[in-house]
Amino acid sequence: MKDRCPAAEKVGTAHLADYRLVFNRLSKHRRCGVASIESAPGEEVNGVVFRLTPACVTALDRSEGYQLQRDERENSYNRRQVIVTLDGILTEVETYIAVPQEAAPLPNRAYLTLLRTGASEHQLPEIYRQWLDRLPAMPDPS
Protein backbone atom coordinates (compact mmCIF):
# COMPACT_ATOMS: atom_id res chain seq x y z
CA MET A 1 0.00 0.00 0.00
CA LYS A 2 2.88 2.36 0.79
CA ASP A 3 4.12 2.26 -2.81
CA ARG A 4 0.79 2.43 -4.62
CA CYS A 5 -0.95 4.86 -2.29
CA PRO A 6 1.36 6.78 0.05
CA ALA A 7 -1.53 9.01 1.25
CA ALA A 8 -3.50 6.02 2.58
CA GLU A 9 -4.25 6.28 6.28
CA LYS A 10 -4.48 3.10 8.35
CA VAL A 11 -7.79 2.86 10.22
CA GLY A 12 -7.08 -0.49 11.87
CA THR A 13 -6.99 -4.24 11.47
CA ALA A 14 -10.15 -6.22 10.84
CA HIS A 15 -11.45 -9.68 10.08
CA LEU A 16 -13.96 -10.75 7.47
CA ALA A 17 -16.12 -13.69 8.49
CA ASP A 18 -17.22 -16.39 6.07
CA TYR A 19 -14.50 -15.68 3.50
CA ARG A 20 -11.10 -17.21 2.82
CA LEU A 21 -7.90 -16.08 1.18
CA VAL A 22 -7.36 -17.66 -2.26
CA PHE A 23 -4.89 -17.36 -5.12
CA ASN A 24 -7.21 -17.62 -8.10
CA ARG A 25 -5.69 -15.22 -10.60
CA LEU A 26 -2.42 -15.09 -12.54
CA SER A 27 -0.51 -11.82 -12.38
CA LYS A 28 1.40 -11.29 -15.63
CA HIS A 29 3.55 -8.70 -13.84
CA ARG A 30 4.48 -10.97 -10.91
CA ARG A 31 4.27 -14.20 -12.94
CA CYS A 32 2.48 -16.05 -10.16
CA GLY A 33 -0.89 -16.52 -8.51
CA VAL A 34 -2.15 -13.45 -6.64
CA ALA A 35 -4.49 -13.05 -3.71
CA SER A 36 -8.21 -12.55 -3.53
CA ILE A 37 -11.02 -13.65 -1.28
CA GLU A 38 -14.00 -15.90 -1.83
CA SER A 39 -17.05 -16.86 0.15
CA ALA A 40 -16.36 -19.73 2.58
CA PRO A 41 -18.83 -20.24 5.42
CA GLY A 42 -17.09 -20.73 8.76
CA GLU A 43 -13.73 -19.37 7.63
CA GLU A 44 -12.15 -15.95 8.19
CA VAL A 45 -9.72 -13.55 6.52
CA ASN A 46 -7.70 -10.95 8.40
CA GLY A 47 -6.52 -7.67 6.95
CA VAL A 48 -6.02 -3.95 7.25
CA VAL A 49 -8.57 -1.20 6.64
CA PHE A 50 -7.29 2.04 5.11
CA ARG A 51 -8.92 5.42 4.52
CA LEU A 52 -8.17 6.37 0.90
CA THR A 53 -8.08 9.64 -0.96
CA PRO A 54 -9.78 9.82 -4.38
CA ALA A 55 -6.30 9.79 -5.95
CA CYS A 56 -5.50 6.58 -4.04
CA VAL A 57 -8.69 4.92 -5.28
CA THR A 58 -7.80 5.88 -8.86
CA ALA A 59 -4.27 4.47 -8.45
CA LEU A 60 -5.54 1.23 -6.88
CA ASP A 61 -8.21 0.80 -9.57
CA ARG A 62 -5.50 1.05 -12.21
CA SER A 63 -3.17 -1.30 -10.33
CA GLU A 64 -5.92 -3.89 -9.77
CA GLY A 65 -7.20 -3.80 -13.35
CA TYR A 66 -10.58 -2.34 -12.43
CA GLN A 67 -12.66 -0.02 -14.61
CA LEU A 68 -16.15 0.90 -13.44
CA GLN A 69 -17.59 1.26 -16.96
CA ARG A 70 -16.19 -2.08 -18.19
CA ASP A 71 -18.10 -5.37 -18.03
CA GLU A 72 -17.18 -6.96 -14.68
CA ARG A 73 -15.95 -10.14 -16.38
CA GLU A 74 -13.34 -8.11 -18.27
CA ASN A 75 -11.83 -6.61 -15.12
CA SER A 76 -9.04 -8.36 -13.25
CA TYR A 77 -10.62 -7.37 -9.93
CA ASN A 78 -13.92 -5.73 -9.03
CA ARG A 79 -14.69 -3.50 -6.07
CA ARG A 80 -17.17 -5.01 -3.61
CA GLN A 81 -18.77 -3.92 -0.36
CA VAL A 82 -18.18 -6.28 2.57
CA ILE A 83 -18.88 -6.13 6.30
CA VAL A 84 -15.80 -6.58 8.48
CA THR A 85 -15.33 -6.52 12.24
CA LEU A 86 -13.13 -3.53 13.03
CA ASP A 87 -12.35 -2.90 16.70
CA GLY A 88 -15.33 -5.10 17.62
CA ILE A 89 -17.74 -3.11 15.44
CA LEU A 90 -19.35 -4.38 12.22
CA THR A 91 -18.19 -1.94 9.55
CA GLU A 92 -18.94 -1.73 5.83
CA VAL A 93 -15.79 -1.36 3.71
CA GLU A 94 -14.86 -1.78 0.10
CA THR A 95 -12.40 -4.37 -1.14
CA TYR A 96 -11.18 -5.80 -4.43
CA ILE A 97 -12.21 -9.34 -5.37
CA ALA A 98 -10.54 -11.08 -8.32
CA VAL A 99 -12.35 -12.39 -11.34
CA PRO A 100 -11.17 -16.02 -11.01
CA GLN A 101 -9.16 -17.71 -13.73
CA GLU A 102 -8.95 -21.41 -14.48
CA ALA A 103 -5.82 -23.15 -13.17
CA ALA A 104 -4.22 -20.07 -11.61
CA PRO A 105 -0.76 -20.94 -10.28
CA LEU A 106 0.43 -20.79 -6.70
CA PRO A 107 1.95 -17.53 -5.47
CA ASN A 108 5.73 -17.27 -5.67
CA ARG A 109 8.01 -16.84 -2.66
CA ALA A 110 8.45 -13.10 -3.22
CA TYR A 111 4.69 -12.51 -3.29
CA LEU A 112 4.11 -14.59 -0.17
CA THR A 113 6.88 -12.62 1.53
CA LEU A 114 4.95 -9.40 0.80
CA LEU A 115 1.82 -10.86 2.40
CA ARG A 116 3.71 -12.21 5.41
CA THR A 117 5.64 -8.97 5.95
CA GLY A 118 2.43 -6.93 5.79
CA ALA A 119 0.72 -9.28 8.24
CA SER A 120 3.64 -8.88 10.69
CA GLU A 121 3.99 -5.11 10.26
CA HIS A 122 0.29 -4.62 10.93
CA GLN A 123 0.28 -7.15 13.78
CA LEU A 124 -2.44 -9.39 12.37
CA PRO A 125 -3.32 -12.28 14.70
CA GLU A 126 -0.44 -14.70 15.30
CA ILE A 127 -2.51 -17.72 14.29
CA TYR A 128 -3.22 -16.06 10.92
CA ARG A 129 0.47 -15.24 10.42
CA GLN A 130 1.37 -18.84 11.18
CA TRP A 131 -1.20 -19.97 8.61
CA LEU A 132 0.36 -17.61 6.02
CA ASP A 133 3.79 -19.07 6.85
CA ARG A 134 2.55 -22.56 5.91
CA LEU A 135 1.18 -21.59 2.48
CA PRO A 136 2.95 -23.33 -0.40
CA ALA A 137 4.81 -21.34 -3.04
CA MET A 138 5.39 -22.18 -6.67
CA PRO A 139 8.89 -23.54 -7.39
CA ASP A 140 11.54 -20.94 -8.17
CA PRO A 141 12.48 -20.78 -11.87
CA SER A 142 15.53 -22.86 -12.71
Per-residue model confidence as pLDDT tens digits over 68-114: 999 999 999 999 999 999 999 999 999 999 999 999 999 999 999 99
Task: Work out the mean pLDDT of the chain and round it to a whole number.
Answer: 95
- Dist. CA 113–CA 108, nearest whole Å: 9
The whole-number average pLDDT for the span 1-27 is 94
- At residue 142, the pLDDT reads 52
- Dist. CA 138–CA 108, nearest whole Å: 5
* CATH topology (fold) of 9-104: Hypothetical upf0131 protein ytfp (3.10.490)
pTM: 0.92
- At residue 91, the pLDDT reads 98
Distances (CA, A) of 67 to 35, 42, 63, 95: 19, 32, 10, 14
Q: How many CA atoms lie within 13 A of 37 on its CB side?
A: 24
- Dist. CA 93–CA 130, nearest whole Å: 26
